[in-house]
Amino acid sequence: MKFTSALRSGVAVAALGLALSGCAQSSTAAKTNAGDAGDAGIKTVKVFISGDTNIQSLWEKDLGPAFEKANPGYRVQVQIDLHGEHDAQTLAKLTSSVEQKKDADFDLVDGGFVSKASGASLLEKVDTSSVKALADIPADVVKAGGQGGIPYRGSSVLLAYDTKTVAAPPKTLDELLEWIKANPGRFTYNSPKSGGSGAAFAATVLDKYVPADARQKMTVGYEKDLESTWDQGFETLRGLNPYVYQKGVYPNGNKQTLELLASGQISMAPVWSDQFLTGSANGTIPASVKAAQITGPSFTGGAAYLGVPVNSPNKEAALRLANFVLQPEQQAEIVKEISGYPAISIGRLPADIRDRFANADTNNLRKGYFDQMSKDMNNLWDQKVPGQ
C-alpha cells in the first residue's frame, strides 16, 4: 500500500522570518567533535519545521542523528515554529529573500505550506534525478506537492469503533449515517474548528452532495461562490443532532473524542490515524477499539511534504537528507515514532509495520479543502449545526 491519486495535500516553509522575528526555537540534532556549524569541512543542513513537538522530536532524536551517522561530515540543525503559528509571515519573508537573492537561513522545510511555496517558484524543482527515492512514490502524489514538494509521510482520518459494542462496523458513509441514527448517543465528532478529525467527518458529509468538478476547484483555490453546494450536507449534519452523544454534544478537539471512545462513553468516532495508532501502541486506547477507512466517499487524508528553498546555499546537502528520509529504515522510524503513514511502498517495510496498516486503507484518501474554504466550512458549521 502507498499514497495514491486520491492522496494530495500541501505542507510548509520558513526560517528567515523567524530568525528576524525571534519566534523560532533552534537546536542541533547531534553534537560532533568538529565544533560549531561554521567549522571547515562540516556541511550543516538547517531544517525548519512548521508543526508540533512530535515532529521536532522526530528530526532531533531520530532522522537527524541517523543522517549524521550515515553521512560523516554532515550536520543537521533543527528550528521550529510551533504549530505553524507564523506560516503566513514566514512565507512572505521567504518570498522576500528569494526576490532579494539572499539566504533564507534554512535548507529544508517540513510544514504546512510547501505546496504554496512550490507554486510560487520558491522551492528547488525536484525529480528522480535529484531525489532518487521519488521513483517509489506515485507520480500524482509527487505532483500534488508541486514541482518542489517531496512527500515523506502522511496520515488520514479513520473510523474508530469499539468491537465490544459494534460487531459489524459501517463500510460506507451511507452505512455510517444509518448506524448513527440506529444507535443514538453512541457516536460523536469534535467540532471542526477544534480538530481535523471532526472537520474531516463534516467535510465528508458535505462532499456526499458536492459535484466532483466543484469539489476539485474547492481543494485548490478559494471558491466562495461554490459554498452553496454545501447546503444539503449541512442539513444532514444538523439532522444528526438528536442522535450524537448526549443529543448534540461535540467534543473540543481530537483528544477529547478519543477519550470518550477509550472510556466507553461512545462506541464510534472519526479519529486521526497517527493518534489512533499511537494510542493503541501505548495502551491509552483499549485493544477492543479498532479502526478502518470508509468509502463513498472516504475520509480525507494527506501527505506531508519537504521542500528545499531555491536560494539555499546547501542544496546538495538538503537533497541528500531528503533522499535519506525516504529510505526504508527512516520510513520505518517515522511509523514507529509518530505513527505516520510511510510515503514509499509499504511492501518495502518490515512485516510488523505492514501489519499496523492492515485496516487503514491508504489507497482511499482524499485531499481536504483549500485552507480558506476549510475556514469558511468551520465557521458555517458553527452557525448551522449545533443546537439546531
Counted residue by residue, the chain has a size of 388
Per-residue pLDDT of the chain (388 residues; tens, 9 = 90+): 444 333 333 333 333 333 334 445 666 554 443 334 445 689 999 999 988 788 899 999 999 999 999 999 999 999 999 867 788 888 998 999 999 999 989 999 998 788 889 989 999 999 999 999 999 887 777 887 889 999 999 888 999 999 999 999 999 999 999 999 999 999 999 999 888 899 999 999 999 999 999 999 998 788 999 999 999 999 999 999 999 999 999 999 898 999 999 999 999 999 988 889 888 888 999 999 999 989 899 899 878 899 999 999 999 999 999 999 999 999 999 988 888 888 888 888 888 888 777 665 554 467 888 878 988 999 999 999 998 6
Provide the residue type at 71 as one letter.
N
By the 8 A CB rule, do 288 and 163 touch?
Answer: yes
Please state, in angstroms and as integers, the Cα–Cα distance from residue 240 to each residue in 205, 236, 272, following that order: 11, 7, 21
CA distance 170 to 159: 9
CA distance 61 to 361: 29
Per the listing, cell 501502541 goes with 281
Q: What is the pTM of this model?
A: 0.70
∠ CA 374-59-95, rounded to 5°: 55
CA distance 140 to 146: 10
Tell me the three state secondary structure of residue 40. Answer: coil
Q: Which residues pair with 70 in a beta bridge?
A: none
CA atoms within 13 A on the CB side of 212: 4
